Amino acid sequence: MAEIEPKPPVPHVYPQGCYFNKIEDIAGKIVVVMGLGLNGGGEASVRFLLKHGANVIATDMKSAEDLAPTVNSLNNDPELDTTRLTYRLGEHKIEDFENADCVIKNPGVKYDGNKYLAAAKAIETDISLFLHFSKAPIIAVTGSKGKSSTVSAIYYGLKASGFNAYLGGNITVSPLTFLENTDETTPVVLELSSWQLADLHGRKALKPHISIITKIIPDHQNFYHSMLAYVNDKKLIYADQTKKDYAIFDFDPDPAADGGTLIENWGELFAKECSHSGGPTVLRYSKKPLPEGVLGVWQDKKGNGIARLSTAILDTLPQDYEKNTETVLKDLIVPGKHMRLNCLNAALVLRIMGVSPERIVEVLGKWSGIEHRLEFFHEAKVSGTTYRFYNDSAATVPEAAAEATQAFGKPVVFLSGGTDKGLDLSPVAKGICENGKNIVPKSVYLLAGTATDKLIPDFDSNKIAYNGPFNSVDEMLTKLKEDLETASKTDDKEPQIVVFSPGATSFGMFKNEFDRGNQFKDKVKKIFN
C-alpha cells in the first residue's frame, strides 16, 4: 500500500510572539481567563496574572457551585490581591472579551465559530505564556496513548539522576506554577495535548530540545471529525526544532489508524518532514529490533530495552563508550507491554540528557507508575481469595482498555465502559479475542453510557459475557462483591486482579477521568474494606 502525503486542514494561526513582551507588561492590563475550571490550569493563570498586577476576569460556563473548590482556593489565599479579581460564572459576557487587553484561553475551547474569542484583541494560553517567558530546555511529549506515563517516567528519571527538573502541561500541572523557578539549567518536561498544540499555531514559541510523539490512534474525533486535522496539530511539536535538537517517533506500522488516508506509519511521515536541512536528529522506537542504520530504541526478545545512538550523539555525552548499542532498560515494577514502551522512550531521553545506561536501568526499574494509569491502590480478601485493585481511569481510548486486559499476563476481572467520543469501540473486543491468542478476562462489568452501548454488540458478536450495564460505580462494585462472595472456590494462591479501564470518556457520570478514578478508588475502599 503506497503512502501518500495528504494536504492537512488549515488551522487558525495566531500572531508570532506573545502579547506581553516581558512579564512587567502584565501590570495594569485587563485580562480575561476563559475557563476557570477544576484541573488547575485556569486557577494557575489567575494566580500568575494577579501576582504580576493584572486586573483579572475569571469566566466559565460552569456555576459558582460547580467551581467551588477553585473559587475557594483563590479566595482563601491571603497572598492574593483578589480586589483585582472578578468572577463571571455560569455565563460569558461578550463585553468582557471586547474590553479585555488579552484573553487567556482554555485549550478545550474551539476557536472556530466562537464569538467570544473572535471579539478578543489578543489570545494567549498558560502554555504560550510559559514558553515565551521561560528559558528552560523543553522536553515535549504528545501522542494519543502513553503521554502522561512517558512524561512522568522522564521526570522521575531526571530527578533521580540529579537534574533540577519540572513537569507540567496536560498532566494537570500548569507550567505557570513553576515558571519563575526555571532557567537554562532546569529541564522542563511538558505533556501537550493536540488542543494545547493547536493554540500554538503561528506563535513560533515551541522549540523543544527533545520532542516525542507517542503512538497515534484515532482520538477526539468528536472534536476534530478528521484524523488529518488531529494529526496536523500533533506535528507542531517538531515544526520549529533545529539540527541541535532531537525528535523521537514510532517505527511500527499503524494499520487502519489513519481514517482511510493510506498512511501506514505516522512515524515515517513525521520523520520525512524532519529530514530537511536544519531539522532535528530523528530517533525511532519499536517493539522489535530496528534495522541497521536506524537510530533509536527497541525491545529485545527478553523485553530489555536496547538503544542505538550514533557516534556523533555519544560524543556529546559525558560518558565515553566504544560501542553505540547499549542496554538501557531491564526489569520494571509497572505492568504491561505498553508501559514498557513508555519507559523505553523515557530511557532514550535520559540517555540523550547524558545519564549513563547503567543508571537509567537502575532508576527506571524503581519507577512505580502514576495515578489513574494502571495504578495499584487497594488489596482485599473475599471468601479467602486476595484481590488487587487497579485504577486505569485515564484510559479514555478503546485501545488502552484492551491493553489493560492483557497487561498482567493472566485473566483479570475487567471493569469498563463510559461515554462515547466518536471513536470505533471495536478494539476492546478485538484486543480480548484477537486470533484466539489473547487473554480473555475472568469476568466483565460495564458502566452505562453511550460508549457502552457501542461496546455491547461487539461483545455479543464475540461471545464475551458481561454484567450490566450499571448506572453507577456503587451498583457495579456491589454486584461484583456479591459475585465474588458466591463464586466457586479455586486453588489460586496468587492474588487475582481487578482492573478498571473504561476506554471511554467520563462525561455525565463524572466531572472528568480523574474524578472518575478518585470516585472509583473511594468506592472500592468502602465496599471492599
Is 1 within the bounds of a domain? no
User: How many angstroms separate the first and last alpha carbons of the chain?
Assistant: 55
Which CATH number does the domain housing residue 72 bear?
Answer: 3.40.50.720
Which CATH number does the domain housing residue 448 bear?
Answer: 3.90.190.20
What is the reported pTM?
A: 0.78
Non-local (6+) Cβ contacts of 269 within 8 A are 3, 5, 263
Residues 237 and 335 in one domain: yes
- Render pLDDT for 83-136 as a digit per residue (tens, 0 to 9): 999 999 999 999 999 999 999 999 888 888 899 999 999 999 999 999 999 999
Handedness of CA 414, 419, 421, 423 (dihedral sign): positive
Residues 108 and 137 in one domain: no
Residues 336 and 392 in one domain: no
Residues 391 and 503 in one domain: yes
Can you list the residues of the chain whose pLDDT is less than 50? 1-5, 8, 257-258, 320-322, 435
E strands, 338-486, where? 375-382, 385-391, 413-416, 443-447, 467-470
Residues 134 and 267 in one domain: yes
* CA–CA distance, 16 with 440 (Å, rounded to integer): 52
User: How many independent structural domains does the chain possess?
Assistant: 3
Residues 403 and 513 in one domain: yes
Is 158 within the bounds of a domain? yes
Is 404 within the bounds of a domain? yes
Domain boundary residue, one of 104, 124, 144: 124
**What is the CB neighbour count within 10 angstroms for residue 24?**
9
Q: Nearest CA to 212 among 184, 250, 163?
A: 250
Is 13 within the bounds of a domain? no
Report pLDDT for 346. 97
Report pLDDT for 77. 94
* CA–CA distance, 501 with 184 (Å, rounded to integer): 39
What is the rounded (10 degree) CA torsion for 50, 21, 107, 91?
50
* CA–CA distance, 482 with 465 (Å, rounded to integer): 17
Is 8 within the bounds of a domain? no
Is 521 within the bounds of a domain? yes
- Render pLDDT for 242-251 as a digit per residue (tens, 0 to 9): 999 999 999 9
Is 9 within the bounds of a domain? no
Report pLDDT for 321. 46
Residues 502 and 437 in one domain: yes
Q: Which domain holds residue 72?
A: 23-124
Is 12 within the bounds of a domain? no
Which CATH number does the domain housing residue 145 bear?
Answer: 3.40.1190.10
Residues 199 and 254 in one domain: yes
Domain boundary residue, one of 364, 393, 412: 364
Under 8 Å between Cβ of 415 and 447: yes
Residues 283 and 245 in one domain: yes
Residues 154 and 277 in one domain: yes
Residues 339 and 391 in one domain: no
Residues 185 and 321 in one domain: yes
Report pLDDT for 518. 94
Domain boundary residue, one of 58, 90, 124: 124
